[in-house]
Structure 1
């Protein structure tokens, strides 16, 4: 090999090696800093594109979960209200049965009528208060529903939405013992028992029949609300598991192995130091030519 002060091939080779080491170190430091092996499409376009698609799926899944949580809260409030109404109707049935005794004195009959009116007010209060975020599944018509919104295509369920129908218990209650302010069916229980169907024990028997029918309606509503709540809870559980699986999948695609990168960093630091020394030695090579001219 010719000796030349114009071209130092050894120094150029050492510089190329040092530049390569520096680039590798920058990549390793970026992976350690971000925790990602694929932080940009420049790192790996295929993996980055797949990861971005999965991140979009996670976003949709999060929106569905939020909607499901809202629907669950609405349904749980309705369940609590329906259970309370069920207890109150049982008390009304007991009172009506007690008032159906033809031998009961008038004072006792009036007291029972007052108790029935109090229980009716409590039921109406529960119906009014069983609302969450403006949605009441016990009051109103069957046209009102609680829904979880659009369900992601990731989920294999029948239909696009989960719905829990309004139970319309307010209408059924009005039929059973009269609308608010219309207490004739109950006040008639407190009237003197004259042997007719509309007063005293006769009114109590008629009210008891209506209460039995209303209680059957409440039982059906409890069953429907319970089934709807379990379905929503099941979907929430599935969403949670699906979220974990997708997150793990994204991690396997783009996450960096920090233990491996730490070891690489140590090796690259040594290579960098050796590269600097090699470049320094190569730069000193032309100096040896001066000895030939002494």
Structure 2
């Protein structure tokens, strides 16, 4: 049945035309923008995923900048530490020369002072954007570590947390420790230490057939906390020359130090004191005087001191804790090196070895940090590239398919236009029936 009121053919042709025009607009949008999904209405789920991934890529771009800044900062510290190591090596050469009897030790000492001043100049200037990794004298908790933003970790629930590479400062300053700035606890009242030596009375390691022992326990540490071991010795093979109440055997914690660090510092200082006494001839080379460290699983460290055997070889020790000490540099012992005398030259040779090792350890620590930062920076770059590729696979248009589809739609559009024209001529055919 034909009707002049309702042209069903034209309606069908119009519907077809609208569908073709809609697809044509979508295809042209893909071709002009290069994206198959431009907004949430195109595909809400994929659009949301792509936007989250784009935000992550933007965040990783900022992380790359942070890693670049961290890499530069650590590089300055590493270069300075290596330079200090070289200068200390030169200083060792001068100290070795001073061991000879027929040299001008005063002139050699002048060279050593010049090298020490150069080390101070380097450690002071080794900063990047105001941050100096060769200075760690601040007692504020956390000040001994620099956090380099290294990643953004997204959990399965969508939450995001930042991750850091922690770079520990490596103090190579020559500043002197100021114990007078702190407050010493009364004997036996150390708040962070315990054990036999943390007692009101001096503990005597009385000579016996078996070397006697006593200990101090480092329960906890905090920056600016110092512990000194006062030593006194009776006459005998130990000799009064081993007496010490001037903090030769001491350690001041800086931020980042553990109980084990303090315990090893005290033990090393004590053993160095023994070696020095043996070198000076005031202590028998076969002496059993020594200090050893043990560390419990909970981090508590114990320094065990071993005394002498035989009657009259008594050694008395006492541990004193001092809080809020003004922290000195780890190379402050450079200030005590004086080769102008034979005794000073001999002592300096032993001291310089430890100082060189301190500088080497610092440079090695920076080198490890540099390697980790470089590795992370390369990973972040590759991860950003992978995420960008993933986003493209989700929302980018297939240009070959879009081109083929556009040509097909153009043909369909022409056919739909002709079909609509034919449908619109249908009423004219009905009019011919009435002629």
CA–CA distance in 2 between the matches of 1:92 and 1:266? 82
The question of 1:168 aligning with 2:171 is answered yes
Equivalent in the alignment of 1:135: 131
2:150 and 2:376 in contact (8 A); partners too: no
Moved over 4 A (4+): none
For residues 163-195 of structure 1, give each alpha carbon's deviation from its aligned partner in whole angstroms, at most 9, with x where no partner exists: 1111111112222x22xxxxxx46x54xxxxxx
Greater share of strand residues, 1 or 2?
Answer: 2
Equivalent in the alignment of 1:86: 85
Residue aligned with 2:146, SS: strand
Residue aligned with 1:153, SS: strand
Equivalent in the alignment of 1:182: none
1:141 and 1:167 in contact (8 A); partners too: no
Equivalent in the alignment of 1:144: 144
1:92 and 1:116 in contact (8 A); partners too: yes
Q: CA RMSD in A?
A: 2.3
Residue aligned with 2:152, SS: coil
1:79 and 1:225 in contact (8 A); partners too: yes
The within-5 A match list for 1:138-217 is 138-141=134-137, 143-149=143-149, 151-154=151-154, 160-170=163-173, 171-175=329-333, 177-178=334-335, 185=336, 188-189=338-339, 199-217=340-358
CA–CA distance in 1 between the matches of 2:118 and 2:347? 21
CA–CA distance in 2 between the matches of 1:150 and 1:84? 28
CA–CA distance in 1 between the matches of 2:65 and 2:154? 16
State the Cα distance separating 1:277 from its structure 2 match: 2.1
Report which stretch shifted further, 235-244 or 202-211: 202-211
The question of 1:281 aligning with 2:396 is answered no
Greater share of helix residues, 1 or 2?
Answer: 1
Equivalent in the alignment of 1:181: none
2:148 and 2:167 in contact (8 A); partners too: no
Q: RCO greater where, 1 or 2, for CA within 8 Å and sep 6 or more?
A: 1
1:74 and 1:146 in contact (8 A); partners too: no
Report which stretch shifted further, 145-154 or 95-104: 145-154
Report which stretch shifted further, 18-27 or 70-79: 70-79
Aligned length: 270
State the Cα distance separating 1:97 from its structure 2 match: 1.2
Equivalent in the alignment of 2:73: 74
TM-score normalized by structure 1?
A: 0.83
State the Cα distance separating 1:16 from its structure 2 match: 1.1
Residue aligned with 1:102, SS: coil
For residues 125-179 of structure 1, give each alpha carbon's deviation from its aligned partner in whole angstroms, at most 9, with x where no partner exists: 2212221122111123373322123742249xxx94311111111112222x22x
The question of 1:261 aligning with 2:402 is answered yes
Taking a change above 3 Å as real, the CA distance of residues 227 and 150 of structure 1, as seen in their structure-2 partners, is closer
CA–CA distance in 2 between the matches of 1:110 and 1:150? 51
Equivalent in the alignment of 1:194: none
TM-score normalized by structure 2?
A: 0.58
CA–CA distance in 2 between the matches of 1:277 and 1:260? 26
For residues 36-59 of structure 1, give each alpha carbon's deviation from its aligned partner in whole angstroms, at most 9, with x where no partner exists: 212211111121122222223323
2:67 and 2:150 in contact (8 A); partners too: no
Residue aligned with 1:149, SS: strand
